[in-house]
Structure 1
Amino acid sequence: MIETERLILRQWKESDFEPFIKMGLDQDVMQFFPSLLTPQESLNLIQKISRLIDENGWGFWAVELKESHQFIGFIGLHNQPEQFDFSPCVEIGWRLAKEFWKQGYATEGAKAVLDYAFNVLNLDKIVSFTATLNKPSQAVMERLRMQRVKNFDHPKVPLHHQLRPHVLYEISCERNT
């Protein structure tokens, strides 16, 4: 578990399922993904994420507001062993319900996750990537002092799809201090 001034990042629990399913069906939340998630796809994703947290001690943690304990999305780390030409790597990522956008939560939680990655896991470098159209996530990456490295085509997004072009950012341990 990781705590910040306003957030708790923790393992998933059953009360997170319904709000996460709603996020997967929300066109605004999912606008930079190739498709919406069915309720079953969202549940499968939670199950996978939860298992990885159990196995590794870290992952895409569920995020709740410290004051109200309301679930707002996820922020965390994911191991990318071989999918990209810049793999293996550890990725930082986030997805928040839209009513919690533009309040600094993604940046606040991600800063704490970077601190954990560098000072607890002793990782040397963290990457993040998103569709080139996703300017809000790129703004978070830049607030985290991540550096834009390159553009690339996401291999799992269909050819000629508007979301295939992606951008890669990274940050090293030294830069985070």
Structure 2
Amino acid sequence: MKDLLEKTIRENKLKLEEEAPEGHFERFEAKLNREHKTFRLDRKMILQLAAALVFVLLLGNQLRLYFGPVQSQQEQQAATLSSVSDEYSEVEFYFTSAINQGMSEWDKLIQDGYISEADQQMMTNEIKEFDQMQAQLQKELQANPDDDRVIQAMLEYYQAKLSVITLIIDKLKEVKHQKMTHNETEI
């Protein structure tokens, strides 16, 4: 390859030593000037843009915090039974765990196809009503954290929610079991 290159250069030595065609340097300079006029992003400009963007975002966040609604720490955190005492914390943990377990069983029954759209809508409406009731009870508990009636209402709320979910899940499991045993007897 090297020999071929040397041979080509030696054979065309006279042509390579000739002057450039007329106007070659002017066309070359025009191309250079055109390239300098195009907009190019270099590293420094990108860093400046990034710094400006970060500054604007931080400024926006600070303005939102400064002019946003003022809430105390107590208002930001929803009142729960665990905020009243450790004993109620354990009770609340039991109920929320049992409710979450019931809801996961509900989701499994949905995935298995044992729950119709109407039943799903009914459960969604029930859960919405319970959530509204919980929000109201939390407001009352926040306003009156030492009121035994509010604490008792929260406990009854958890019991009622768990009872409804458990009742629905048990009935659906019973229907599922009947369908399975009915199908087994047909075979």
Structure 1 length as normaliser, TM-score?
0.21
Higher helix share: 2
Higher strand share: 1
Structure of higher RCO (CA pairs closer than 8 Å, 6+ residues apart): 2
Q: Which has the larger radius of gyration?
A: 2
Structure 2 length as normaliser, TM-score?
0.20
